[in-house]
Amino acid sequence: VTRSHDSESAGAQLRGFQCPTVADGAQVEGAEHRRTKNPRSGCWCHARRNFVYAAPTDGRALVGLKWMNQLFEIERSLVDASSDERLRERQKRSAPALQELFAWRDGLVGREDLGRSLFSKALRYLCHQEKRLSSFLQDGRVPIHNNETELLARHIAIGRKNWLFLGSDQAADAASVRLSLVLSARMHELDVEAPALPGAVHLPFVGNARPRAHQAHLPAQDVPQLGQLIQRERAQPRAD
């Protein structure tokens, strides 16, 4: 959660990370990526969405959707694969489909003036984002979409009217910290109400400090490293 949707806010969220980032085509992340030179990958769900919107008015969009759906089917078959195996299968199965998709796009863009229709918008997105949308073919760790992050952000979007007035900037910071902790716990299949979860989820925000300052207000046994906590929780037998 950031106060504004701009380059400075996006850069602050990305700062300190030395890994590939998966995002849509928004320009706000561009400045930080140019500074750090970290790889940036595109999101195929954002690319696909444009064709879904265009399909009711131009049936040619269904052709593009066919190739994109093939990419997603391949990814579903590789969910449990290692990153090396996933990369091999992507280069073997996904690369040809991607090549045909881009060839079909180039044929349309070069042959006619598509104007400013929804279909032309979808094609232009593929043109502008081609390098980022192709990067998953070079790194098996990189997902082809950022749906998981989008779904986590959905909680905030749905409750936005309830949280329109949080009382102060400090309260807004506290809310974003708590939401981040709770949603991170859910992502790792941890019980948010379990005693083992760091008590910072239930503490008020202290002063103007960043989240790490919560540790000064917790018993030492309540602030294990998150990775150790995840391993311990997963090792516990679950009642099915």
pLDDT of residue 31: 64
pLDDT of residue 65: 95
pLDDT of residue 153: 73
Residue 122 and residue 51 in contact, taking contact as beta carbons nearer than 8 Å: yes
pLDDT of residue 8: 65
pLDDT of residue 63: 94
Phi, psi of 4 (to 5 degrees): -145, 160
pLDDT of residue 210: 45
Residue 85 and residue 79 in contact, taking contact as beta carbons nearer than 8 Å: no
pLDDT of residue 111: 75
Taking only the tens of pLDDT, the chain with its 240 residues reads: 566 665 666 666 666 666 677 777 666 566 666 666 777 788 899 999 999 999 999 999 999 999 999 999 999 999 999 999 999 999 999 999 999 999 999 999 877 677 788 999 999 999 988 998 999 999 998 889 988 777 777 777 777 777 666 677 777 777 777 777 777 777 777 776 665 455 544 454 444 444 444 444 343 344 444 455 545 555 655 554
pLDDT of residue 39: 75
Tell me the DSSP string of the chain: --SS-SHHHHHHHHTT--S-EEE-S-GGGHHHHHHH---EEE-HHHHHHHHHHHTTT-TTHHHHHHHHHHHHHHHHTTTTS-HHHHHHHIIIIIHHHHHHHHHHHHHHHHHS--TTSHHHHHHHHHHHTHHHHHGGGT-TTS-S--HHHHHHHHHHHHTTTTTS--SSHHHHHHHHHHHHHHHHHHHTT--TTSTTS-GGGGSPP-TT--GGGGGGGS-GGG---HHHHHHHHHHS----
Give the Cα separation of 123 and 108 in Å (integer).
Answer: 9
